[in-house]
Structure 1
Amino acid sequence: MSSTTRAEKAPDTRGPARKLLTSFGFQILLSLVLGVAVGLLAVSLGASGTNPTGLSATLDTIGSSYVTLLRAAVVPLIFTAIVASISNLRRVQNAARLAGQTLLWFAITAFIAVTIGIVLGLVIQPGSRAGEGLEPGEPYTVGTWWNFLLGLIPQNFLGLNVNSSVNPETGAVASSVGFNILQVIVVAAVVGIAALKAGKKAEPFLAFTESLLKIIQRVLWWIIRIAPIGTFGLIGAAVVKYGWDKLTALAWFAGAIYLGLALVIFVVYPILVKSHGLSIKQYFSGVWPAVQLGFVSRSSIGTLPLTERVTERNLGVPRGYASFAVPLGATTKMDGCAAIYPAIAAIFVAQFFDIQLNLVQYLLIVIVSVVGSAATAGTTGAIVMLTLTLSTLGLPLEGVGLLLAIDPILDMGRTAVNVAGQALVPTIVAKREGILDEELYNAPRNGLPFADDTDEFDDTSVDADAADPDATKEPASIR
């Protein structure tokens, strides 16, 4: 397998101030600070979740509009990414072995994460420390194994759902269109496998799909560039909507979740990196742009193009394997949403309702977390995964309503860990299989991660950037 193609590094002539201002990390941090400040200002002016003002409504519109942009690209991105990733296996030697190793390490890291979650739940006892005023509520969505299995059967080619409701006062009918992401994944996987089996006759379709994927990714880059604006609105609106009272009532629970997430990303992952003879510093510097975007967007699928980019161009995972493993991970590799969170949350619910769990139920938590990750499907939120876990354990689903108030805040950290793991596993597997480009892995991290560039050389080995004088050459470390 050939290593990742790298372009010559362009000199960086930006001054220190411009480097700081154009740093994606700095822009995100600045947006977080400004969002909290403006959110607190809106609260001081009388805004609340039930009493919006012009300022709070503006913050909510900015944040929700950004999330809507990300979601609009989810379905075409999932379909083309999965079809392209499966088709790319035909270019990879030992594809079956790589796929098996990838799934094995997905399971290993999920097992470690859920174990940490169970231990923290038992030690911290967040359900017993819950603040006053919490009332059980009905979850807006429920996951069961039966519903999960039925959800895998596509209702139509696009996994399209149309829901209609009638306003009892006006009689007006409102309809909304949604997509069942699990069904989209199933359809895409079947189409990708069928295209592989079709052989040469499917080559035009696969070429079109890969080209379409590049176009969709470029559109997503444009959306990613305005992530700091979206962050400003999302954080500001969260401060107004949830306030500090609900956050402090669940402080022990939130603390347990973030402690578990921190242990996984800053202890477990570095141990795995170091045990494979790789630099911990280089791993974090390489994956950090994707982790930041995952924290803001709360969507592994929305972060997929950047996760794949840093995995391939920063961490040195070969393109053919990365284009398979990263999309697979974005839909099934959820150490935050499907391991740590449901483990601690299930224990929280049991403690809150004074229900004693036995050893079998703890084992069921592990099994559900390792096997049921696909239930989250890479979309924002992990409520489906939590209700799936509670249903399996026989715990009251009303407990989910206790945790909904702070779910968006928790989801930021969960998704960041998900993304870090989705880049880690391909890196580990590539290293174990001797196909990791360690020179690229250890290269300095310079340049702008979102600079416009052409992803690859064409068949005539002509640098496409050279043909486009307006394109910005990206440094070697991220090519």
Structure 2
Amino acid sequence: MLRASQATRILLSLGLGLLLGIVGAWLAPAAALATSGYTQPIGTAWLHGLQMTIVPLIVSLLVTGIGATAEAARAGRITARAVLMIVVVLWSTTLMAAVVEPLILRLFPLPVGLSTALRSALTQAKPVGTVPGLAAFFDTVVPANVVAAAAGDGFLPLTVFSLAFAFATTRLPEAQRTGFVAFFQATVDTLLIVIGWVLKLAPIGVGALAFGVGARTGTGAIGALVHYIACVSAVGFIVILAGYPVGAIGGRISLARFARAVAPAQAVAISTQSSLACLPAMIEGSASLGAGRGIAGITLPLSVAIFRATSPAMNLAVALYIAHWLDVPIGPAQLAAGVATAAVTTMSSVSLPGTISYVASVAPVAIAMGIPIEPLGILIAVETIPDLFRTVGNVTMDVAVTVTVAARTKADPG
């Protein structure tokens, strides 16, 4: 979740940058375009400041996240069931987004003229890394040289190595594992300080990027942002809807009963955009559906800590939208790389603040698919609205998983 003051500053800088660019293009088009040649590198440099931390942050978060998940799974039957269901939900929602988002963009495409203008507004946005064809996909998914994969923005092979490395740490003796994970946790904490410094400059970076967009696209940029919000939020809305049958079928209750029980937590989610703030309401709702406080007290805190049902789906949707925006062709290999990266890395960023999580979660997916990440500098400013769908979807699925685990535990107490 974005802090209100930070979200406001970024949104205001977006609006101001767009306004100045639009007015400049109206009064003196040539001068506005010339000025954007200076503002664009400033915004790109700010975005690179965030990008430089992504590789070490993802690796460190995977080590600490997998360690915490493995410990939870070993803690008992209830947590093991919860972790298994969480993994199933994450992969299912990601695959859904891979099908639904391209369909949405095909049915409701961004107007061609506006899409062309937006591409010209991001003149430095170029495809990232080397994306293999489908035949070479499995040959490159396991890195022969992990250093080269990191240097070449090969996020999928880097993620595969990081996962193997992270799971290997869980087999170390406890004393060694504790110290090792503590090192990576300290790395995460240090990188978050660096990212915090970069984010203080967000109004400058976003404003600089927005000026170029406004100067080249005029008022059409506003329509494009509304189009983006609608297309990405639609995927989150589908995840919200999916939570109802998951909870009803898994918990062996009626849809109406599940809806009534989860509504208070959803209301808190809308007002706070924080899953953690929803925890008391989720516990109460789960208890009313038959999930005893013993089960809910284990499953819900675990879900809040390691589970974001909407994240992989909406992160993939953002990457696919950028590809649509910049006319980057997406083939089966690119889509497979995006699905795998989105599903795997989502559990590595769940503890991050919303601004950091947005970039750290979406950038690896886009890079794995060969999609430029420069548009993230603009899109981050309007993330507040899609974040509402993210939080409500997460809360709904958290309760659905809890009541499902409770029902299965009662049916199979042994």
Where on the TM-score scale, by shorter chain, does this alignment land: which range? Answer: 0.5 to 0.7
Name stretches of at least 5 consecutive residues in structure 2 with no aligned partner. 121-125, 245-257, 281-298, 346-360, 404-414
What amino acid is the match of 2:66? Answer: I
SS of structure 2 residue aligned to 1:179: coil
1:185 to 2:153 alignment: no
SS of structure 2 residue aligned to 1:154: coil
1:26 to 2:8 alignment: yes
* 2:69 paired residue among 68, 85, 89: 89
CA distance in 2, matches of 1:179, 1:349: 17
- Which position in structure 1 is the counterpart of 2:230? 259
Give the TM-score of the pair, scaled to structure 2: 0.61
CA distance in 1, matches of 2:304, 2:238: 24
What amino acid is the match of 1:102? Answer: I
* 1:65 paired residue among 45, 67, 71: 45
Distance apart, 1:95 and its partner CA: 4.5
- Which position in structure 1 is the counterpart of 2:270? 284
Q: Tell me the alpha carbon deviations over residues 301-335 of structure 1, each in whole angstroms, 9 at most, x when there is no partner.
A: xxxxxxxxx44456579665545435x98678635
Flag the 1:70–1:311 CA change in 2: closer, same or farther, 3 A.
farther
Name stretches of at least 5 consecutive residues in structure 1 with no aligned partner. 1-20, 162-176, 288-309, 351-363, 388-399, 436-479
1:197 to 2:171 alignment: yes
- Which position in structure 2 is the counterpart of 1:100? 84
SS of structure 2 residue aligned to 1:52: helix
Distance apart, 1:22 and its partner CA: 7.5
Q: Tell me the alpha carbon deviations over residues 143-195 of structure 1, each in whole angstroms, 9 at most, x when there is no partner.
A: 4334443442224344556xxxxxxxxxxxxxxx5432223322221121111
- Which position in structure 1 is the counterpart of 2:315? 334
- Which position in structure 2 is the counterpart of 1:219? 194
- Which position in structure 1 is the counterpart of 2:411? none
SS of structure 1 residue aligned to 2:143: coil
Distance apart, 1:63 and its partner CA: 1.2
Flag the 1:433–1:284 CA change in 2: closer, same or farther, 3 A.
same
CA distance in 2, matches of 1:33, 1:268: 30
Distance apart, 1:385 and its partner CA: 7.5
- Contact between 1:261 and 1:336, CA under 8 Å: does it hold in 2? yes
Flag the 1:189–1:22 CA change in 2: closer, same or farther, 3 A.
closer
- Which position in structure 1 is the counterpart of 2:21? 39
Flag the 1:134–1:88 CA change in 2: closer, same or farther, 3 A.
closer
CA distance in 1, matches of 2:13, 2:48: 19
Q: Tell me the alpha carbon deviations over residues 196-231 of structure 1, each in whole angstroms, 9 at most, x when there is no partner.
A: 011323221112212222222233233333322322
Flag the 1:48–1:321 CA change in 2: closer, same or farther, 3 A.
farther
- Contact between 2:90 and 2:312, CA under 8 Å: does it hold in 1? no
Flag the 1:429–1:247 CA change in 2: closer, same or farther, 3 A.
closer
* 1:432 paired residue among 367, 392, 400: 400
- Contact between 1:152 and 1:186, CA under 8 Å: does it hold in 2? yes
Give the TM-score of the pair, scaled to structure 1: 0.54
Flag the 1:331–1:106 CA change in 2: closer, same or farther, 3 A.
closer
Matches within 5 A, 1:255-334: 258-265=229-236, 269=240, 272=243, 275=259, 277-278=262-263, 279-287=265-273, 310-312=274-276, 321-325=303-307, 334=315
- Contact between 2:233 and 2:386, CA under 8 Å: does it hold in 1? no
CA distance in 2, matches of 1:178, 1:349: 19
1:380 to 2:363 alignment: yes
- Contact between 1:160 and 1:179, CA under 8 Å: does it hold in 2? yes
- Which position in structure 1 is the counterpart of 2:217? 243
Query: Which one has a larger percent helix, Structure 1 or Structure 2?
Result: 2
Matches within 5 A, 1:1-16: none
- Which position in structure 2 is the counterpart of 1:152? 141
Flag the 1:267–1:379 CA change in 2: closer, same or farther, 3 A.
closer
The aligned length equals 337
Matches within 5 A, 1:392-431: 427-431=395-399
- Which position in structure 2 is the counterpart of 1:357? none
What amino acid is the match of 1:229? Answer: I
Q: Percent identity?
A: 16
- Which position in structure 2 is the counterpart of 1:455? none
